[in-house]
Amino acid sequence: MEKMNLEDRVVFTRAIVHLLDSWGVNAADQVALLALPAGTRPGAIRQFRQSKPFPEDAGVMERIEHLAGIADALRTSYPHNAYMGSIWMNKINHRFDNRTPLAAMLEDGLGGIMAVRTHLDCAYDWHISGSASQAK
């Protein structure tokens, strides 16, 4: 991801918080899902929602990239209903051991986030499958 100025980082942060809000993720779970630095309190989400950008941390940015990919795949899967993404994220799915995709992401961390993205986004799945087969 290219370097953004402060204003763009704030807009970007607000968009990600809004996305997580739309999925019904509470503040404490947003902190966990994003793997924000140790000691980040749930109240910090209110600051991110207003005017504070996310920290420039590689781990946080990796998770945000995957979450944005998931959101994009949900928009593609349900182009006529913006609410279906939230419904899908909170509906039990056999692919995730009869948990919701959101629960899989929260309980399994980055691996769960990547599993949800791989399930939704065949282009991303092909990309990582191709990378894995080339490494052999």
Condensed to tens digits (0 to 9), the pLDDT of residues 67-99 reads 999 999 999 999 999 899 999 999 999 999 999
Tell me if 36 sits within 8 A of 62, measured CB to CB. no
* 82/114 Cα distance (integer angstroms): 22
pLDDT at 4: 85
pLDDT at 125: 54
Residue 128 has pLDDT above 90, yes or no: no
Residue 124 has pLDDT above 70, yes or no: no
Tell me if 103 sits within 8 A of 96, measured CB to CB. yes
* 117/74 Cα distance (integer angstroms): 10
Percent helix, strand, coil in the chain, to 5, is 70, 0, 30
Tell me if 27 sits within 8 A of 45, measured CB to CB. yes
Tell me if 91 sits within 8 A of 79, measured CB to CB. no
Displacement of CA 23 from its chain's centroid (Å): 10
The pair of structure tokens assigned to 128 is 């990582």
* 129/8 Cα distance (integer angstroms): 33
* 70/65 Cα distance (integer angstroms): 9
Handedness of CA 105, 48, 57, 132 (dihedral sign): positive
pLDDT at 130: 60
Condensed to tens digits (0 to 9), the pLDDT of residues 7-61 reads 999 999 999 999 999 999 999 999 999 999 999 999 999 999 999 999 999 999 9
pLDDT at 35: 97
